[in-house]
A and B are shown apart, each in its own frame.
Chain A
Amino acid sequence: MAYPRTRWTTLLATAVPLLLAGRSASAETISLTATASLAFGQVVATPASGAVTVAPNGTRSSSGGSLLGGSAGVRAAGFRVVGNADAVYSITLPSSTILSSGGSSMTVDAFTSSPSGSGILGPSGSQDFAVGATLHLGSLQPGGAYAGSYAVTVAYD
């Protein structure tokens, strides 16, 4: 009876690491954290409507009747992705969102990211990406501090 006993024990001892190895290889975990808010800075309301764009690299530009005010605090949004080393992930940005102040609102759209569309986690399993967007001002947009929120999703393909 001694022979089969040993065999069973060996079999079980081998099964445990195999099972664990299988688990860790199939675990796909990814997490996204916002590290910086998107800020358009000061924009000047004029009689003509216009737009102000902050690019993912943080540069700001205007079009139409919008004028740029003080640039203090202007920045692109920042996000950090943590997941499996060398994994490819997709970035999903909103089509638009609303910023509001009191009873007034403005639309933000044309969200872009860098890297665009998808990214790849490095050997450390993390990557930062930046997001920019375009703010639309109406004619004589009422003054105020406007704020809003939007959703960003990352996923393994």
Chain B
Amino acid sequence: MRKLVVAAAAAIVVVAGFAAAPSLAQTFDSSTVNDAVAGADVIAPIVLTKGTALNFGQVVAEAVATGTVTIGTDGSRTNTGIKLGATMLSHTGDFTVAGGPSSTYTVTVPATDQSITCTTAATCNTKTMVVNAFHHKCAQGAPEQDAACTLTGGGTDSFKVGATLVVGTLTDNPLGNYSGTYAVTVTYN
């Protein structure tokens, strides 16, 4: 009978030990995360401001020859077919951008031929020249024509626009000042 009591006691201890395990782990039939995080960054609209205008400087129109003058985004001026005159106000088209810190944005320049018109009525009347091959380069290290330009941590950037001027013969493009406008757009990516 003594043996029986010992065996029963041992068995009870074992039962109690196992029964305690689930109660330590506890039983949960639901679980809640109370501090799930949500966030958003509100930024100002992107703003584009024009600076110095795109200018091809002085170009020499000739009686027979036609040619082109190209302004690079680095401000370089190169020519084909015709001679360059004085540099004068030769310049890239400069723009500044303001918007959300570190936002990326896309610059869109004209993809089609634009035209500039003679504004010196006495000499060239309403003659026009084509400007095409617009391209741009952003200040923040973006490659030429890169769609994804990036604003600084302070929310600013700038870019330069270059293009090619197609010059006709002296008959088509008599001496004078020619000017026109083109559209540039920036959008957040």
Q: Taking beta carbons and an 8 Å cutoff, which residues of A are in contact with B?
A: 1, 5, 8-9, 12-13, 15-16, 19-20, 23-24, 26-34, 37-46, 52, 67-72, 77, 79, 81, 97, 99, 101, 106, 108, 131, 133, 135, 137, 141-156
C-alpha gap A132/B11 in the complex (Å): 54
Interface status of B80 (Cβ within 8 A of chain A): no
Q: Which of A16, A34, A67, A145 contacts B36 (CB 8 A)?
A: A34
User: For window 10-68 of chain B, which residues contact chain A by CB distance below 8 Å?
Assistant: 11, 14-15, 18-19, 22, 25-46
| Residue in B27, B28, B37, B99 whose CB lies within 8 Å of A149 | B37
Inter-subunit contact A151/B33 (CB<8 Å): yes
Contacts between the two chains (Cβ within 8 Å), count: 177
Residues of chain B at the chain A interface (Cβ within 8 Å)? 1, 3-4, 7-8, 11, 14-15, 18-19, 22, 25-46, 99-100, 102-104, 188-189
Would you call the interface of chain B mostly helix, strand, loop, or mixed? mixed
**For residue B1, which residues in chain A have a CB less than 8 angstroms away from its CB?**
1, 5
Q: Is the CB of A77 within 8 A of B38?
A: yes
Q: Tell me the bound Cα distance from A1 to B103 in angstroms.
A: 89
Contacts of B27 in A (CB 8 A): 26-29
6 extra A-B contacts, CB within 8 A, seeds A28-B27, A141-B42:
A5-B3, A32-B31, A32-B33, A38-B37, A39-B39, A43-B42
